[in-house]
Amino acid sequence: MPSPSTRKRPQKKVSRKQEATSTWWKPLSLGILGFFVLCLAIEYFKEGGRLAFLRHTVEEATQTNTLTAFNPAGYEVTGLDISHHQRQIDWKKVKAQNIKFTFIKATEGITHQDRYFARHWRQAKKHDLLRGAYHFFLPARNAEEQARNFLNKVKLEAGDLPPVLDVEVTNHQSDEEIRAGVQLWLDMVEEEYDLKPIIYTNYAFYEKHLAGHFDDYPLWIAHYNPKKSHLLANQKWVFWQHTERGRLEGVKGNLDLNVFNGTMEDLYNMCYEPNNL
């Protein structure tokens, strides 16, 4: 006769109902996970979708392989442009290095708003730098909604620089589609502020997609080769981003540095002045 310690206990029978309950969540979880991955994949590959920034191809800011960083001589007004990549900025140190203006990323596409814009916007004004806001344009997204995104985020005050449209990706759109969207954005923002926006682009993108168009708008050009002329298609640039590898005390890492093609008086004359003042 087996001892009590070795005696086998009768196994409890698992009912069909319990068995079904213990296994139903597995295929459901896999299905939910698969659906989530599919949605992400669709959003990623959708032209101008919320994840399109992961696959932006920004054309080089020069038509050569030389990306020589240099400090252009002969320009008295210097500035920088920033976004969420520059989280902490010691504006007092920045201003002490003869920085007169800054452009700050505000929005992108139809929904994205830069999470550090409000902080940078306030601090720049507090330290008496001329400030401007820019929108990163996605040609495959609705231009009217992109303009609304920018206008909802940015409220210009007297003395602010004109709004900027950053155009440097195609999202696989044709030149005609790109230019039509750009024009719509520019028209809506100009109507709001009665002030012509600035177009920012790089040398290669300008020559390939925009040259001969939008000649009435101030041009801010990214161009990193000092051996090339900065008169593009007979249009004179207003701002020149001469390096993306600049360094300043008070800002960690590399950043974009710019010069203005004029005097401080010229720059002040570009700034926004509300009609009710």
CATH number of residue 223's parent domain = 3.20.20.80
In-domain check, residue 187 = yes
Same-domain check for residues 51 and 151: no
Q: Which domain holds residue 54?
A: 33-62
Same-domain check for residues 116 and 145: yes
In-domain check, residue 135 = yes
Same-domain check for residues 51 and 162: no
In-domain check, residue 11 = no
Same-domain check for residues 40 and 171: no
In-domain check, residue 197 = yes
Same-domain check for residues 141 and 49: no
Per-residue pLDDT of the chain (277 residues; tens, 9 = 90+): 455 555 555 555 555 555 555 566 677 677 777 776 675 656 655 444 555 545 555 555 554 333 344 567 788 999 999 998 888 899 999 999 999 999 999 999 999 999 999 999 999 999 999 999 999 999 999 999 999 999 999 999 999 999 999 999 999 899 999 999 999 999 999 999 999 999 999 988 998 999 999 999 999 999 887 665 555 656 689 999 988 889 999 999 899 999 999 999 999 999 999 986 5
Same-domain check for residues 41 and 114: no
Same-domain check for residues 37 and 119: no
Same-domain check for residues 110 and 241: yes
- Gap between the Cα atoms of 255 and 247, Å rounded: 6
CB 106 within 8 A of CB 136: no
What is the Cα 251 distance to its own chain's centre?
19
Same-domain check for residues 130 and 40: no
> C-alpha angle 128/256/143, rounded to 5°?
90
Q: For 16-49, what is each residue's pLDDT tens digit?
A: 555 555 566 677 677 777 776 675 656 655 444 5
Same-domain check for residues 37 and 123: no
φ, ψ at 17 (rounded to 5°): -65, -45
Active-site positions read 81, 168
Name the amino acid, one letter, at 186. Answer: L
CB 125 within 8 A of CB 272: no
In-domain check, residue 95 = yes
| Total structural domains within the chain | 2
Same-domain check for residues 51 and 111: no
In-domain check, residue 8 = no
Same-domain check for residues 90 and 204: yes
In-domain check, residue 117 = yes
Q: For 8-25, what is each residue's pLDDT tens digit?
A: 555 555 555 555 555 666
In-domain check, residue 52 = yes
